[in-house]
Amino acid sequence: MSTPVHVSRLRLGHRASLTRTEGLRSTTYHSQWQLFPLGAVHRPESGAVVLDTVCGHCRVPVRVVLDSAPTAARKKQNRGVLGWVMLLAGVALIVTACLIGGGGAAPGLAGVTGLFAVLGSFGVRSTGKAYPGAGLDRDQPAATRNPHRIFVR
């Protein structure tokens, strides 16, 4: 069981500005975040607690869900397992598609679905690795959630 990042390293980020750089071929966006401490010292013993944090930038109250160490570890592990299941299922579909062969619609669809599952699995596994054991409470207006994010420093 891995220990999640310590609470003192978690920050509430407010997207202070979004810079748009027009390139020759593409436009890149660069966000600048202002970071504020969450105001919690410990993780709860079990489950999760909701922290009422006030953003230091926009002064809007933001609710942050802070997981206990066991909960954070379990969520992280679940995402890891999900990633592996998707990877294996994707590989199985691609292999099946190759075995059926023949270029029909069914093996083609199986192959493409398999490919997406394999690609998606890497995304799921990397978000699992980066999971900080805290997140914005989903049960608050999007206008409150959108400019904010949890960071680990």
Residues found near Zn ion in the complex (CB under 5 A): 14, 55, 57-58
- Are the C-beta atoms of 151 and 10 separated by less than 8 Å? yes
Please give the angle made by the CA atoms of 20, 36 and 146, to the nearest 5 degrees.
50
Nearer of residues 35 and 55 to Zn ion, judged by Cβ: 55
Please tell me whether residue 144 adopts helix, strand or coil conformation: helix
Question: What whole-number distance in Å separates Cα of residue 147 and Cα of residue 141?
Answer: 11
Residue number with the shortest CB distance to Zn ion?
55
User: At closest approach, how far in Å is the CB of 113 from Zn ion?
Assistant: 40
- Are the C-beta atoms of 111 and 105 separated by less than 8 Å? no
Nearer of residues 36 and 131 to Zn ion, judged by Cβ: 36
User: At closest approach, how far in Å is the CB of 95 from Zn ion?
Assistant: 48
User: At closest approach, how far in Å is the CB of 9 from Zn ion?
Assistant: 19
Considering only CA atoms, which of 12, 136, 127 is closest in space to residue 79? 127
Nearer of residues 60 and 118 to Zn ion, judged by Cβ: 60
Nearer of residues 40 and 55 to Zn ion, judged by Cβ: 55
User: At closest approach, how far in Å is the CB of 143 from Zn ion?
Assistant: 11
